[in-house]
Structures are given as structure tokens and as C-alpha cells.
Structure 1
Amino acid sequence: MTDETAGTPASPPPSPWERERPAPARVAPAREPLSRERVVDAAFTVLDRQGLDGLSMRQVAAEAGVAVSALYAHVSSKDDLLELMYARLFAGFAMPVPDPERWREQVRDYARSWRHLLLAHRDMARISMAHVPFTAELLPHVEALLAVFRTAGLPDRIAAEAGDLISTYIDGFVLEEGMWRDRAALQAGDKSSLARPDWREMAGEMQNYFASLPEQDFPHLRALAGLMVTDSADERFDIGLEIILRGLASYLPSPSV
């Protein structure tokens, strides 16, 4: 007998000894073993969705699909997890070879790159400001930044403070950006959003307000109204960074005549 539709021999009915045979069990795909890297990945997902205040070990475990107790085989505490997340940002971050002729350019590149890394994840500036970067993973980066300042010729006292000054500026600037971003998301009715605020609209409103102030009471605010707030966070960051760099440069020894 043939299967007229398919044009091939029809399948015979199952034999008696096969009828009671159970159907083949469905084998679920093997789950990727939990690792420290998976825990950190899950933590970043939770951080971006809920922010630092919503980041808990329970939420991270749920995101990774494991029991909370399973996390502690890879991280000792939430603070330990935050330090691992902070160190992850530096993975692949190459520090420049100190060049005394280009030190300001090297610091600019470092600061801009570090700002963009912090902006890549919600509330990372808060995490950065809460953790001293003197861990085994991060010490080489601290060493390299200090080498840029000392090779440029800055006095040791100034070089020692310069690294902290630059880091504090970057963290503080990004923290402010994050606060405005959260405010914009709240106004949009989406607390989990990473939407950017409309800087151009905000700048225009503030400039108009400063320009409307009584001149006899606020002559300088009125005179600088068009310059007090720009519509570009990048421009504001670069100007602030330039002020710091020029201040540091003033400590360089005067060239011999």
C-alpha cells in the first residue's frame, strides 16, 4: 500500500511491543553555569532598568534565573558586586603612554572616554563616587594617570591631587547628567527610562529667565544670560575640563631662558 498523497510507501502501524513505549523525553537545553561574569551581567541589566536604589541581590538573582543563595558562591555581598561592576567598566580601557608634549590632550581623551563609559549605565557615577578605586584591578589605571601628570612636569603635590580632581569632576558632571535624565524620565511617566532631557529647551528657558531679571539687581546674570547655560552637555564638559587643565598647567616650571 502506498500513501497516494506523498507517493511513498505508507508507514506501518506500530507493532504491539512498541505501543507502550513512552514518548522520547524532551531534553531542555543546558543552562549556562552561573559565573561571576553572569552575575555582573545580570546586575547591569537590573541597574539600567531600575537604577541603583532598585538594585538588590534578590533582583539580580531573579534576572540570572537562580536562587539568591547561588549568588554568594561568586560575590560576597552587594558592595562586592558594585565593586565588580565598577571594575568591569575599565576592562579594555587603555591608558596612554605618558607624553610630556601631549599631556593635556591625553587627559582630555581620558576624561571624555571615562565620562562616556559612566553614561553607558544608569547611576554608575553614584557607584563610582562611593567606591575608592584602589583595588588590584584598578591600581594600574591610577598609576598610569599619575604618570601622565608627573611626566608632564607637575610638582608631586599637585600631581597627587590632580588625579582625584579630574575623577571628581567627571563623576560629579555625570551624576548631574543622570539626575536630569531621571527627572526627564519621571516627567515622561517612565521611571525606568534612560531618555535624555531636552537640553536645548531647558537652556532656552533658563537663558530667557536670566535675561528677564531686573538689571539693577542682577547685572551680571543679565549680561551673561546667553552664556550661563549652553544647549550641549559635551560643550559644558569640555569647557570645565579646559579650566582645570589650564589651572594645572600654571604649576608647570617656567621654561629656562
Structure 2
Amino acid sequence: MSNAAPGTPAPPPSPWDRRRRPRAQAAPARLPLSRERVVEAAFTVLDDQGLDGLSMRRVAAELGVTVSALYAHVSSKDDLLELMYTRLFDGFELPEPDPKRWREQLRDFAHAGRRRLLSHRDMARISMAHVPFTAELLPHVEGLLAIFRAAGLPDHIAAEAGDLISTYIDGFVLEEGMWQDRAAREDGEEASLARPDWHEMADRMRDYFASLPAEDFPNLRALSGLMVSGSSDTRFDTGLEIILRGLASYLPDTAPGDDAR
């Protein structure tokens, strides 16, 4: 409690009571830019904006750097897309060919491929634009051809089968992504990775086919309950099985113990 008369100015602070100026806190150290960080940032932008919204400028903004800083690690947007596609194969290895389990091995390959493409938005579009003939991906192509040839497929079929299966995977996932974006737009929301309500859309399609004039569209009406039935997983497996049975038809004869369904 002060005894100074009212209105008396306060004395200056004593030199012995001077408080030290607070030490300025150092700014957190910025992580050095690297190719890995650029690719991770590109995936973030891709999932948020889609392939049409992916640009070097947006990747740079995500990292808080200038666009020119990116070019020390990637040469172009196409180079970046190739790095993103290659990254999906990290940790993936094909098994040693087993002639008795070749169809099971190809099913596993196809399921893994679909999971890779579904892990990020629009990856099917990126996949379709990039051939896997890089140093990192050629071993996967070699391993897939080994499974075909070990199964006994003729060489001219083995040479085409890998592209056939890969195109099926790309096309199926591309369609899934288009339905996802369409469902999101219809809901008035931004497109996202959330899966659409397939059952609701399938019900609408079934009702439409069933309402067609029977005299003009007897087959659409007859198959209306089957054409859009099942989940995406079921539809993918059915299409894959059609391909595998077609490949099996080129074998000289079915080997004992083959895992044919």
C-alpha cells in the first residue's frame, strides 16, 4: 500500500528492480524440402482437389514454398505424377510363380492393384496415362509375365494378358471414382473420397429398367434385377473371374489341382 499523496507521480523503477527483457523465442526450424515431401504434398492436393486441380503452384502452397523451389526435386508436373504412381508400389512384391495357384495369384494381384488406386483420388486416371516401364516398375511387369508363362499360357496370350488385367483394374476404379464425384455433386457437396450410396443409385436404375416397354426392351426388363446388383467388390470379382476363365481357355488342358472355381 503506497503512502504517497494523491497525484504524486510514480518514481522511476529502481535499477535493481529492472526486469530482464523476455528472450525472443526462436522460430521452429523448417523441415528441408525433399522429393518425398513434394510427393506427399502432391497426394494431399490430389485428394482435396482431384487431378484437374493438381498443379505445381498448389503443391508449392501446400508446402509453404515458391514454385521454383519444387524444381530442385522434380523436373515437371509429369515427373511428379510418375513419382506419385511409382510410390503406390512401395512394399509391393509379386510371389514366386506357382503353376497350380496361378489364378489365385492373379486375383491377389488385381485386388492389390485396385486397393492401390482407391487409396488416392483420381489415381486411376494417373495410372492410365503412365506405362510401367521404369526401372522401379519393370520388376513387377517381369513378375507378372512369369506367372502367366508358368501357368502354361501361350506366349502371344501371356504378352497381352498383363495389359488386359491392368486395363480392367484401371477402368473399373475410374468408373468408381466418377460415380463418387457424381454422387457428391448431386448431394451439393464437394467431391470427396467417400463412397456413394450405391444401393440407392442401383434401386433407381433397376426401377428405370423395369419400367421400360417389354415389347421394345425385353432383355433389359428381364435382367433389370441383376445388372446393377451387388456391391462394387462383387462386381469387380465377377469381371475378374470372366477374364481369368477366358485366359484359362487358352491352356492346353487344365492341370490337376488348378484352383478353378
Q: TM-score, normalised by structure 2?
A: 0.89
**Per-residue deviation at 1:215?**
1.6
CA contact (8 A) 2:51 2:122 kept: yes
Aligned counterparts of 2:192 and 2:249: Cα–Cα separation in 1? 43
For 1:196, the aligned partner's letter is R
Is residue 2:137 matched to residue 1:131? no
Aligned partners of 1:169, 1:94: CA distance in 2, in Å?
Answer: 20
Decide whether the 8 Å contact of 2:180 with 2:191 is kept in 1: no
Q: What is the rounded CA distance, in whole Å, between the counterparts of 2:189 and 2:199 in structure 1?
A: 21
Q: Deviations over 1:69-117 (max 9, x none)?
A: 1100000000000000000000011212110100000100110111011
User: Which consecutive residues of structure 1, in runs of 5 or more, have no partner in the other structure?
Assistant: 1-13
SS at match of 1:85: helix
Q: Residue 132 of structure 2 aligns to which amino acid in structure 1?
A: P
Question: 1:102-157: per-residue Cα shift (whole Å, max 9, x none)?
Answer: 00001001101110110110000000001111111110111111111011000110
Distance, in Å, in 1 between the alignment partners of 2:77 and 2:186 is: 30
The match for 1:234 is: 233
1:49 aligns with 2:65: no
Per the alignment, residue 140 of structure 2 pairs with 141
Aligned position for 1:185: 184
Aligned to 1:118: 117
Determine the structure 1 residue equivalent to 2:170: 171
Contact kept in structure 2, 1:47 and 1:54, CA below 8 Å: yes
In 2, Cα distance between the equivalents of 1:248 and 1:255?
11
The SS at the match of 1:63 is helix
Aligned 1:11-30 pairs, distance under 5 A: 16=15, 19=18, 22-30=21-29
Unaligned runs of 5+ in 2: 1-12, 256-261
**Match of 1:167, as an amino acid?**
S
Equivalent residue for 1:212? 211
For 1:207 and 1:48, how far apart are their aligned partners in 2? Answer: 32
1:15 Cα deviation (Å)? 8.3
Quote the residue 2:32 is aligned against: 33
The structure, 1 or 2, with the larger RCO (C-alpha pairs under 8 Å, 6+ apart) is 2
Q: Deviations over 1:150-203 (max 9, x none)?
A: 110001100000000000000000000000000111112222422211111111
Letter in 1 for 2:115: H
> In angstroms, what is the RMSD of aligned CA positions?
1.8
Amino acid at match of 2:32: P
Q: 1:18 and 1:71, CA in 2 relative to 1: closer, same or farther beyond 3 A?
A: farther
Distance 1:182 1:67 in 2: 31
Higher mean alpha-carbon deviation, 247-256 vs 147-156, is at: 247-256
Rounded Cα–Cα distance in structure 1 between residues aligned with 2:139 and 2:17: 67
